[in-house]
Chain A
Amino acid sequence: MSDEQSLSKITKEREKWEKTTVPSWLRRNPERKGEFKTTSGINIKRLYTPEDVKNLDYLRDLGFPGQFPFTRSLHATMYRGRLWTMRQFSGFGTAEQTNKRFRYLLKEGETGLSVAFDYPTIMGRDSDDPMCNGEVGICGVAVSSLKDMEILFDGIPLDKVTTSMTINGPASMLLAMYIAIGDKQGVPRGKLGGTTQNDMLKEFYAQKLCIFPPKPSVKLVVDIIEYCAKHLPKWNPVSISGYHIREAGSNAVQELAFTLADGITYVESTLERGLKVDDFAPRLSFFFAAHNNFFEEIAKFRAARRLWAKIMKERFKAKDPRSLWMRMHVQTSGCTLTAQQPVNNVVRVALQSLAAVLGGTQSLHTNSLDETLALPSEEAVTVALRTQQIIAHESGVVDTVDPLSGSYCVEALTNEMEERAMDYINKIDDMGGVIAAIENGFLQKEIADSAYKYQQEIDNKERILVGVNDYTVEEDWVPLKILRIAPDVEAEQLARLQKVKRERNNARVKKVLDKLHGAADRDENLMPTIIEAVKSYATLGEITNVFRSVFGEYQELIVI
């Protein structure tokens, strides 16, 4: 069909159709809207035909699964072999409570762990820090010292399960603790598998959990990348995250572009450290959101793979095929879920996860129906996990690789996503890179504007949200029982922390913290000393404070 003659025939026929069939139908059946747009403002056409993909070269642009440019998928047989990893982000209360939740989820068929830490932990503060009063264990699990991590992973064999940790500023410390537990369990470091999010760049403009200024932050990221390249061959040192960018309000194109721009920055920074691209690139991993617009999302995932493969091959001259792989985790988009008629969220999540699967993800978190109310209850998270299992085992969409390829619409959108993202990446390059684009507020402004626009579209009913601005009801019909954190969590955690501080060898702690200070001053790779520190039960807060004194603290550039 791609030969010129048949294409011009199609064009002729399409024009005829537009002059005859369409108007006569439109006369009695006008379209619902003047234009149909995706969240990124891409205009969706009434119909896609071979004309829309006339420049598409199958072998060049799509290829075969497991082959460059990986548009169709990273692996040759995809889900016919292994399904994606079902990984539910979870953590609340004390380490004991979260450990229990982990074991429950594994029993129910989850295939990987994902830890949510509480606010004190993600901000690098101990539970007894005065700023953390009332926040301990509320939004994740509290981890102040190795003791807490030991309890958190009690009875979970680290050589059998992979663990993802959503931690950024203090990523090096939590990875160090994980390594320490592995050592205790007797698991060789070569067998420790998992991911530290460790993506500081997006913190500055999306998640906003910043501790140190950009430069030392990136230094710490690269320390982990370097350490893992040498010692933890199965660990993903960084999960370059578009999810937070999207959830902070960006559209799909911005999510894709800014994530890849961050990725480029990490590659450049690691090369500057003196590593060779193929020594670390295979372990870089990615994290995206699955939002509402079904085809746009699928196109985004496919474009992301293709674009990254090209960047790695052309810009960074990577040779190892695995350096070209964009392995991704996907989470359904929390901000699409509604407080009104929350049961409807199950349907939204199902559609979004279907998009992630059709987009070829390696790993998936499905949000729970009580997303807008509290951390997921056990019942709610079970439904979320079952949603993945239903897609995997009942729908049949997993039986063939990249089933939507060849759809004129999906291929055209994939091209469009790639082009638009590339425009942004070039713009950011011209500005001097991501850090420059953070310091001049460009990225913040882009996201703030998209977030505001999205809100206005809902307020004006240009965007219908079922149950929110249309199809509303007076009284919601399902009262959900939400998870509440027991009030004694904080006291329990404080008692444990005190005990740790009392019983450890404090002289040893002081010595190792001094050593850490020296290493930070000398700009050494800090991982080995951090491992030493956590093993002596130096706390997260103590280690972070050493870094605060050397690196300074970041002050946000506020753009609304």
Chain B
Amino acid sequence: MTNIEQLIDGVLKGDRRFIAKTITLIENDLPESQKTVSLLYPHTGKAHIVGITGPPGSGKSTLIQKLVEELRRQGKTVGVVAVDPSSPFTGGAFLGDRVRMQELSTDEGVFIRSMATRGSLGALAKATKDAVKVLDASGKDVVVVETVGAGQSEVEIVKLAHTIVVVLAPGLGDDIQAIKAGIMEIGDVFVVNKADRENVNKAIMDIETMLSMNPEREKWKPPVVKTTAIMGEGIIELLDKIDLHRKYLEGGTIDTRRRQTVETELVEAIKEKVAGAIVDDLKKKGILDKLVQKILEKETDPYSVADMLLAKRLKRLKPS
């Protein structure tokens, strides 16, 4: 058994095998996992985290391959986490993003990891944010996260990434209508990929119209970039925009975003830990079952029970 110190040491040195093992440890939620993340935490915060989202087939993975190639030309190291859904029935998953990036797999400056959502309902796995931390701590200059975005769930990526790139493609026109609610508000940079196809300009116009209807939340105006990922066209421009957004964030907004990220993380950790402890306690004492029974018999309801539990705990916490 590799011990935690060894793992951490390896990750900090950028050793690929240790990075891989550490991500597995976190993914499998083993007892040591929390401690590992805690130990890595001080070493994080350096990487620029870019989220790539958009409907399936729009060319996200292909685009990442090209983006990473270009980043490598600029001398930057890159980590990629690509998330695909697990089957809710069998728990199995087919992780298909990597196929597009296989040419990068032997590049020492790149680390690619595929990840299944494993029971998490959203577009990210529970372990995604920690996997990103591992890659960040390993010294990667940029960490890219690919998620499938087809509805509301991809909004989660906001909590994780500094810059969010939304990838759309012509021919998925109807989908653009359907997904706009979730996706149009979170994008910092929009990409219309597959510019080799017909109707690109129409797609761009559609997006610009939709964006103009967004409420203005910041000074940043999301640009729309046209790419043909398969031919590597438009990549440099896209990278420029991503960089521009990074600079914009560094001009002040990044602190707000970081604060937000940390705050959400904290809130979630509290929820998980505190609520988890209460539930565990109830289970251990056999109270949970009884409460469930009462609810089934319609004597009470879940919300009243929660209120009751909260009142009890608060009383106990109150300084006497």
Direct contact of A and B (CB under 8 A): yes
- Chain A interfacial positions (CB closer than 8 Å to B): 213, 440-441, 552, 555-558, 560
Instruction: Show the binding face of B for A, using Cβ within 8 Å.
Output: 57, 62, 94, 96, 99-100, 230-231
- The winner among A552, A555, A557, A558 for most chain B CB atoms within 10 A is A555
Measured CA separation A177–B231 after assembly (Å): 31
Does A558 contact B99, Cβ atoms closer than 8 Å? yes
CB-based contact B57/A555 at 8 Å: no
What CA separation (Å) do A558 and B96 show in the bound complex? 7
A residues near B96, Cβ cutoff 8 Å: 558, 560
Residues on the B chain within 8 Å of A213, using CB: 230
Report the nearest A residue to B96, measured CB to CB. A558
Contact among B57, B99, B100, B231 for A441, CB-based, below 8 A? B57
User: With A and B bound together, what is the CA distance between A555 and B228 in angstroms?
Assistant: 13
- Docked CA distance A454–B101 (Å): 31
Taking CB atoms, residues of chain A closer than 8 Å to B99 are 556, 558
The answer on a CB contact under 8 Å between B94 and A552 is: no
How far is B62's CA from A358's CA once the two chains are assembled, in angstroms? 48
Flag if A552 contacts B230 (CB, 8 Å). yes
**Complex Cα gap A552–B230 (Å):** 8
Residue in A closest to B97 when the chains form the complex, CB atoms? A558
CB of A555 within 8 A of CB of B62, answer: yes
Q: Which 9 A-B pairs have the closest CB atoms?
A: A552-B231, A558-B99, A558-B96, A560-B94, A552-B230, A555-B100, A555-B230, A555-B62, A213-B230
CA distance in complex: A139, B96 (Å): 29
Please report whether the interface of chain A is mostly helix, strand, loop or mixed according to DSSP. loop
* Closest residue of B by beta carbon distance from A559: B96
Residues on A with beta carbons closer than 8 Å to the beta carbon of B62? 555
Query: In whole angstroms, what is the CA distance A555 to B99 when docked?
Result: 9
Measured between beta carbons, the chain B residues less than 8 angstroms from A556 are 99
Nearest CB of chain A from residue B93's CB, rounded to whole Å: 11
- Shortest CB–CB separation between residue B87 and chain A, in angstroms? 12
Task: For A558, list chain B residues within 8 Å (CB).
Answer: 96, 99
Partner of A440, one of B57, B94, B100, B231: B57
B215 to chain A, nearest CB (A): 34
A556-B99, A558-B99, A560-B96 known; 11 new pairs, CB 8 Å cut-off, are: A213-B230, A440-B57, A441-B57, A552-B230, A552-B231, A555-B62, A555-B100, A555-B230, A557-B57, A558-B96, A560-B94
| Cβ distance B48 to chain A, nearest Cβ, rounded Å | 27
Query: Whole-angstrom distance from the CB of B175 to the nearest CB of chain A?
Result: 12
A445 to chain B, nearest CB (A): 12
- Residues of A within 8 Å of B100, CB to CB, are 555
- In the assembled complex, the Cα of A141 lies from the Cα of B100 at a distance in Å of 31
Q: What's the least CB distance linking A440 to chain B, in Å? A: 7
Cβ-closest chain A residue relative to B56:
A441
A558 to B231, CA, bound (A): 19
Residue of B with least CB distance to A213: B230
Smallest beta-carbon distance B99→chain A, Å: 5
* Closest chain A CB from B174 CB (angstroms): 13
Across-interface contacts of A555 in B (CB, < 8 A): 62, 100, 230
Chain B, Cβ-Cβ closest to A432: B171
Q: List the A side residues contacting B230 at CB < 8 Å.
A: 213, 552, 555
Q: Which residue of B lies closest to A554 (CB)?
A: B230
Residues of chain B contacted by A552 (CB below 8 angstroms): 230-231
Complex Cα–Cα for A557 and B229 (A)? 14
| Cα-based distance from A186 to B62 in the complex (angstroms) | 50
Q: In the bound complex, what is the Cα–Cα distance between A555 and B64 (angstroms)? A: 14
**CB of A529 to closest CB in B, whole Å:** 23
A441 to B94, CA, bound (A): 16
Task: Across the interface, name the chain A residue whose C-beta is closest to B65.
Answer: A555
Residue of A nearest to B194 (CB): A439
Determine how close the nearest CB of chain A comes to the CB of B197; give it in whole angstroms: 9
For the complex, what is the distance from the CA of A478 to the CA of B230, rounded to whole Å?
A: 51
- Report A285 CB to chain B, min CB distance, Å: 31
**In the bound complex, CA of A352 to CA of B99 (Å):** 38
Min CB distance, A204 to chain B, in Å?
13
**Residue of A at shortest CB range from B172?**
A440
- B94 cross-chain contacts in A, Cβ below 8 A: 560
Assembled-state Cα–Cα distance A557/B96 (Å): 10
Q: How far is the CB of B136 from chain A (nearest CB, A)?
A: 29
Task: Provide the bound-state CA to CA distance between A370 and B243, in Å.
Answer: 59
Taken together as a complex, chains A and B put the C-alpha atoms of A298 and B99 apart, in Å, by: 40
Residue of A nearest to B61 (CB): A555
Q: How far is the CA of A557 from the CA of B58 in the complex (A)?
A: 12
How far does the alpha carbon of A213 sit from the alpha carbon of B62 in the complex, in Å? 14
Residue of B nearest to A436 (CB): B171
In angstroms, Cα B231 to Cα A358, docked, is 48
Name which residue of chain B comes closest to A441, CB basis.
Answer: B57
Nearest opposing residue in chain B for A560, CB measure: B94
List chain B residues, Cβ under 8 A from A557.
57
**Identity of the chain A residue whose Cβ is nearest the Cβ of B232 in the assembled complex:** A552
Q: How far is the CB of B159 from chain A (nearest CB, A)?
A: 30
What are the residues of chain A within 8 A of B231 when measuring CB–CB? 552
Within the assembled complex, what's the spacing in Å between the Cα atoms of A70 and B265?
A: 72
A558 to B94, CA, bound (A): 11
Q: Give A560 to B96 CA distance when docked, in angstroms.
A: 10
Give the Cβ gap from A397 to chain B, nearest Cβ, in Å. Answer: 47
C-alpha spacing A440/B169, complex, angstroms: 12
Q: Which residues of B contact A440 (CB under 8 A)?
A: 57
B69 CB to closest chain A CB (Å) equals 13
Can you name 7 A-B residue pairings with CB atoms under 8 Å? A213-B230, A552-B230, A552-B231, A556-B99, A557-B57, A558-B96, A560-B96
User: How far does the alpha carbon of A435 sit from the alpha carbon of B47 in the complex, in Å?
Assistant: 40
A208 to chain B, nearest CB (A): 13
